[in-house]
Structure 1
Amino acid sequence: MPIHPEVAKVLATLPAPSAVLDPVAMRAGEASQVPPLGDRLPIASVEDMSAGDVPVRLYADSTDASGVIVYFHGGAFFLGSLDTHDHVARHLARATGLKVVSVDYRLAPENEFPAGLHDCYAAVRWVQENGEKLGWDGSTLAVAGDSSGGTFAAAVAAMATDDGYDAVTHQILFYPSLDLDFDETRYPSLVENATGYGLETAGLKPFNAFYLDSGADPDNPLVSPIKRTSFEGLPKALVVTAEFDPLRDEGERYAQRLREAGVEVNAVRWEGANHGFVQNFSQIPEFAQVFETITEFLREG
């Protein structure tokens, strides 16, 4: 099917990509687009706190929520914040009825690899260590992320498995970046969706350069989770890809490798969608259904 008409309208207004990326200016631009508090989805409670040394924001829309989703925002490892993805966390809490811990991890290029990844893993461990205070009953503990946040979610799930830490029960990946080797011949979607859909194949290297230049090696499975040698024992996964996304095929290949290793996987390609649709276009009813899919996935146990 064609790209959703509402998405097409927005894509038609986008300026040509800049040849020079300025993290400070781009972050300021993102911050200027955050809606005022009164315009956001109201939920029961939102509280800023610290997971050890890591700033987090705790969302709850149910007083009896017993499970937790630890959420990592996207932004090519150098963009994004608790505020830019506040609406995603709110919708996760509302749809699932679980508590959501959104992580304000350290960004590249100011912070070298693996600072941001370690913040994400530390936040997950903090949830378990403070489970009684958070109201976690020891059941569902999911890691979730979109785009580069999906990279972190997959990497954190792998770190937990490698450490013999079995508290993480689910991994939820929205259009994840799982292979930071950007050779265009690796996946057909890098060619099929190279231009015209927001995220463009030619922009992958410059956008991710801040992370890679900070010491993240694309051959490291914690940087490119699809390069793990074994996928056995990883938490069950929901992998959501977008039809018109250059990263579509690596997400679907990752789901296939999990399945081949005996991991329970639900892989869903969202038709008519582009990269970033959960963050940018979740107000479109067809795309908002992704939160129902997440809820069903978590309720399956």
Structure 2
Amino acid sequence: MPRGSRYRRPMLDRAVAAHEAEIAPFLAPEPSDPAGRRRVAGENDTAVSAALGVSPRDSATAEHTVPVSDHPDVRVRVYWPGPEPTPPGSGLPILVYFYGGGFTIAGIDWVSWDARFRERAHDAGIVIVAADYAHAPEQRFPAQPEQCWSAFEWAFAHAEELGGSADRLAVGGASSGGDLAAAVTLLNRDRAARPVVLQLLENPALDLTIGHADARGVSAGMPGVIVRKAGRMLVRQYIGDDPKAARNPYASPLLADSHADLPPALIITSELDPLRGDGEAYARALSDAGVDVTAVRFVGQTHGSLGATGSVPSADVAHRLIVTELRRLRADS
């Protein structure tokens, strides 16, 4: 840093500011009760997607219900890269993915998530298995990681008939889904040691004690105590009132005693996201444990802005980065 220069507070990307202004008229206020918030958030997603012209690609899909021991069954949706299902035995990589929504909202039926899965499957030439895990607080930890683990095991068992390869499994997720994806890699290491070739974590929440949250870059008018309070509210809905549960490694993968023998990772963080600290600390923990990891921080981006492909240039770059990494898993790459 040049002599005499001073630390500059991170600035919001102008494209993100323009995008937020564009969608603001279509966002209805969300009520405080979980069910009402979930309903309105879904309506907002539909309205914003329509306003932005989001049109899901015509891709082949199929749905299955996967049983989960001692917890509710989980619905999974398979996305193939083309308009027809990939023939069995084609050997494509399979990405088992968990959507983000603070453990309390969203799902694979949201227009934005469904469109993203279709686009990624097509652009990367892979099969995606997306799990519609249960919402908190109606279902709480450990239901969600167990559902996601069952979805992963189902994808492994059916890989060949889905046109994929059991030797080219990847696990991914965003935000709360990133927490669940990291938990699945720990469960896999501890239970089965399936050959996972990549974990893809996008703005992941990985420490539910909120110990690594970093609010410094969010806003000059947003005190860290407010950010942490909001985070703890969502965490309580997910794990309940016992603070010890937040230290369970399958709830907070960053706090696991060991990160050895986990899959190689691509971790994407955003400068203006309080969860940036989680993702970057996890990258260091993996690296210290001998795991190959690539961590990329997007300057000027917020927690959700990298999902705004077509509107925010950095989101388009993030999409190409992810697609490139997933294409590397193909045998013909």
Partner of 2:13: 4
Tell me if structure 1 keeps the 8 A contact 2:169–2:196: yes
Calculate the aligned-residue CA RMSD, in Å.
2.6
SS in 2 for 1:47: strand
Residue 181, structure 1, aligned to residue 209, structure 2 = yes
Which residue, out of 59, 77, 96, partners 2:124? Answer: 96
What displacement does 1:196 show? 6.3
Q: What is the rounded CA distance, in whole Å, between the counterparts of 1:164 and 1:50 in structure 2?
A: 22
Q: How does 1:139-288 map to 2 (within 5 A)?
A: 139-183=167-211, 186=212, 189-193=214-218, 200-213=227-240, 217-279=245-307, 281-283=308-310, 284-288=312-316
Aligned to 1:47: 62
Q: Is the 8 A contact 2:92 2:164 kept in 1?
A: yes
Question: Secondary structure of the equivalent of 2:165?
Answer: coil
Quote the offset at 1:193 in angstroms. 2.5
Q: Deviations over 1:229-279 (max 9, x none)?
A: 111100010100001111102210100110111101010101221102233
Q: Secondary structure of 1:58's match?
A: strand
Deviations 1:161-186 (A, max 9, x none): 11142232211000000111124xx4
Per-residue deviation at 1:4? 1.6
Spell out the pairing of 1:51-130 with structure 2 (5 A cutoff).
51-52=66-67, 53-62=73-82, 63=86, 66-84=92-110, 85-130=113-158
Distance verdict in 2 for CA 1:76–1:178, change over 3 Å: same
Q: Distance in 2 between matches of 1:120 and 1:195?
A: 37
Mapped to 2, the partners of 1:156 and 1:298 lie a distance apart of: 19
The 8 Å contact of residues 179 and 224 in structure 1, kept in 2 or not, is answered as yes
> Which of 30, 51, 62 does residue 41 from structure 2 map onto?
30
Distance, in Å, in 2 between the alignment partners of 1:285 and 1:72 is: 24
What letter matches 2:138 in structure 1? E
For the structure 1 residues 131 and 259, does the alpha-carbon distance in structure 2 shift closer, same or farther, using more than 3 Å as the test?
Answer: same
Query: TM (normalized to structure 1)?
Result: 0.88
* Long gaps (5+) in structure 2: 1-9, 68-72
Distance 1:134 1:214 in 2: 41
User: Conserved in 2, the CA contact under 8 Å of 1:150 and 1:175?
Assistant: yes
Q: Which amino acid aligns with 2:299?
A: E
Partner AA of 1:193 in structure 2: V
Question: Whole-Å Cα distance in 2 between the matches of residues 292 and 2 of structure 1?
Answer: 24
TM superposition shift of 1:195: 6.2
> In 1, Cα distance between the equivalents of 2:230 and 2:28?
11
Q: Is the contact between residue 144 and residue 172 of structure 1 (CA under 8 Å) also seen in structure 2?
A: yes
Q: CA deviation at 1:16?
A: 12
CA distance in 1, matches of 2:314, 2:271: 13
8 Å contact from structure 1 (residues 108, 214) kept in 2: no
Q: SS at the partner of 2:306?
A: helix
1:242–1:269 contact (8 Å) kept in structure 2 = yes
In structure 1, how many angstroms separate the alpha carbons of the residues matched to 2:91 and 2:117? 15
d(CA) in 2 for partners of 1:287, 1:278: 4
Change (3 A) 1:39 1:69: same
CA distance in 2, matches of 1:218, 1:99: 33
Shift of 1:214: 7.0
- Does the aligned pair in 2 maintain the 1:74–1:147 contact within 8 Å? yes
Gaps of 5+ in 1: none
Q: Tell me if the contact between 2:91 and 2:160 (Cα under 8 Å) persists in the aligned partners.
A: no
Q: How far did 1:106 drift?
A: 1.3
TM-score normalised by L of structure 2: 0.80
CA contact (8 A) 1:147 1:276 kept: no
> Percent of aligned pairs with the same residue?
33
Say which is worse superposed, 20-29 or 222-231, in terms of deviation.
20-29
